[in-house]
């Protein structure tokens, strides 16, 4: 597998781009700022990847698992604007349909176009987001309004869209970082060992794509040609979890979606999400979710 390093291109020599998606994060649309229209663009969001540009993402709907740096989090009803620093590996693995808005920008190129005060403030924000931060919309509801406006009602004038993006960034520089949550314990814009990180990214993407199949640690070791000790150390460093814990979280997240949205029996759901033993599925599900699968379905199934 190739390294999932995304090379981002900006239209009309601008230092940013605005993206949106409806239903499927693999079917991204990009804003043409000169006309205020969106065009289709293939997306990397569903794969664990990284890029040099800073990213600001609002997930408007969807559930699943988010992997940022060495932190794996289940996406819930909590609402955040997520800021990801340069080179920070990330993935949005949604269970079913989702929607959202995203701004990606070049820190260097945008800074060259801004007054000194705004450039300093945005540089400080980017530095604070080196490990990723979640900004709670409960405290800053206007952020959602600004991002949705860019995605749903863009201006046919390039300057107006440029101003809209800068206003979002300037608003983010005003947030109280004590109200925000740091995501990864590591920053990746200064790390060494890129080859090992690339190999772990391949394994993560393999799990995200093949969780319903039989997955063994030995297969992962063969894929990256590492010893068990070396692999375990690097996998923990990159994801914050052991191989088995990460695999279980991905499988249980998908099982949760099926419990909420289908009439499938619990046994069938267990097997569809990669568990060969119903007893093992029930035990792991309870450990992660705090409820037995039947209780979880009763609580979370729409009435």
At 236-249, the pLDDT tens digits run: 888 888 999 999 98
Q: What is the mean pLDDT of residues 69-98?
A: 87
Burial class of residue 42 (count of CB atoms within 10 Å of its CB; 0-12, 13-18, 19+): exposed
CATH code for position 230: 1.10.10.60
DSSP 49: B
Q: What is the pLDDT of residues 149-167, one digit of tens each?
A: 999 999 999 999 999 999 9
Percent of the chain with pLDDT over 90: 66
- Ranges assigned E (strand) in the chain: 16-23, 27-32, 37-42, 54-61, 64-68, 71-75, 80-84, 90-94, 98-105, 133-136, 181-182
Q: How many domains does the chain have?
A: 2
Q: Tokens 């990213």 sit at which residue?
A: 55
**Do 29 and 175 reside in the same domain of the chain?**
yes
Among the three residues 137, 161, 182, which one is the final residue of a domain in this structure? 182
The mean pLDDT value for 139-158 works out to: 93
Q: Report the C-alpha gap between 265 and 281 in whole angstroms.
A: 13
Q: Is there a domain that residue 92 lies in?
A: yes
| In a shared domain, residues 37 and 139 | yes
pLDDT digits (tens, 9 = 90+) for 84-105: 999 898 989 888 889 999 999 9
In the numeric block, which tokens belong to residue 117?
């005060």
Confidence band of 4 (pLDDT split at 50, 70, 90): low
Confidence grade of residue 3 (pLDDT, cut at 50, 70, 90): very low
Q: Closest Cα partner for 244 from 280, 196, 268?
A: 280
In the prediction, which pLDDT does 205 show? Answer: 86
User: 41-45, 59-63, 264-268: which range is least confident on average?
Assistant: 41-45
CATH number for the domain harbouring residue 138: 2.60.120.280
Q: Which residues pair with 169 in a beta bridge?
A: none
pLDDT bucket at 194, cuts 50 / 70 / 90: low
């Amino acid at each position: 597998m190739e390294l999932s390093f995304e090379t981002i291109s900006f239209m009309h020599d601008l230092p940013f781009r605005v993206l949106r998606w409806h239903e499927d994060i693999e079917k991204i649309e990009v804003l043409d700022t000169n006309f205020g229209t969106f065009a289709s663009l293939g997306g990397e969001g569903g794969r664990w990847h990284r890029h040099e540009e800073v990213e600001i993402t609002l997930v408007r709907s969807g559930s699943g698992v988010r992997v940022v740096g060495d932190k794996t989090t289940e996406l819930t009803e909590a609402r955040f604007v997520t800021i990801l620093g340069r080179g920070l590996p990330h993935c949005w693995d949604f269970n079913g349909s989702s929607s959202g808005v995203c701004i990606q920008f070049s820190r260097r190129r945008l800074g060259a176009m801004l007054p000194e005060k705004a450039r300093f403030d945005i540089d400080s924000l980017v530095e604070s987001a080196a490990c990723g931060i979640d900004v709670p919309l409960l405290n800053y509801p206007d952020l959602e309004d600004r991002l949705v406006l860019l995605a749903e009602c863009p201006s046919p004038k390039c300057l107006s869209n440029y101003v809209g993006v800068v206003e979002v960034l300037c608003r983010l520089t005003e947030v109280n970082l004590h109200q925000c949550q740091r995501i990864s314990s590591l920053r990746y814009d200064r790390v060494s060992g890129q080859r090992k990180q690339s190999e772990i990214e391949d394994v993560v993407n393999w799990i995200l794509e093949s969780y319903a199949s039989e997955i063994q640690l030995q297969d992962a070791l063969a894929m990256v040609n590492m010893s068990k000790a070396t692999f375990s150390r690097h996998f923990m460093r990159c994801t914050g979890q052991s191989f088995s814990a990460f695999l279980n979280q991905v499988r249980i997240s998908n099982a949760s979606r099926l419990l909420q949205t289908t009439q499938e029996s619990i046994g069938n759901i267990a097997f569809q999400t990669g568990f060969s033993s119903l007893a093992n599925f029930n035990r792991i599900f309870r450990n992660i979710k705090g409820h037995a699968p039947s209780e979880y379905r009763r609580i979370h199934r729409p009435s």
